[in-house]
């Protein structure tokens, strides 16, 4: 199973994609990362770290 560490990695990767790729990066993140991320029952780790700009 995926844990919080995996969630953190995914959240950071999604944020990085959004940063470099803009809308295209976000589309990739939504297509590739979001389905995996949804399987992890953990709140947004970037919110927890105070680094989230999405929530
Ligand atoms: Zn968040």
CB–CB of 12/37 below 8 Å?
Answer: no
How far apart are the CA of 8 and the centre of ligand 1, in A?
Answer: 11
Share of the chain above pLDDT 90, in %: 91
How far apart are the CA of 15 and the centre of ligand 1, in A?
Answer: 10
Task: For 15-40, write each residue's pLDDT tens digit.
Answer: 999 999 999 999 999 999 999 999 99
Nearest to 46 by CA among 15, 6, 3: 15
What pLDDT is stored for residue 54 in this prediction? 85
What pLDDT is stored for residue 2 in this prediction? 82
How far apart are the CA of 45 and the centre of ligand 1, in A?
Answer: 7
Cα–Cα distance measured from residue 4 to residue 20, given in angstroms and rounded to the nearest whole number: 24
Share of the chain above pLDDT 70, in %: 98
What pLDDT is stored for residue 1 in this prediction? 66
Nearest to 37 by CA among 19, 23, 54: 54
Cα–Cα distance measured from residue 2 to residue 43, given in angstroms and rounded to the nearest whole number: 13
How far apart are the CA of 52 and the centre of ligand 1, in A?
Answer: 5
Q: Is the pLDDT of residue 43 over 80?
A: yes
């Amino acid at each position: 199973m995926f844990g919080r560490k995996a969630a953190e990695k995914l959240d950071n990767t999604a944020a990085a994609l959004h940063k470099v790729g803009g809308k295209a990066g976000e589309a990739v993140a939504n297509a590739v990362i979001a389905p995996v991320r949804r399987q992890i029952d953990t709140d947004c780790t970037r919110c927890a770290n105070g680094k989230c700009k999405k929530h």
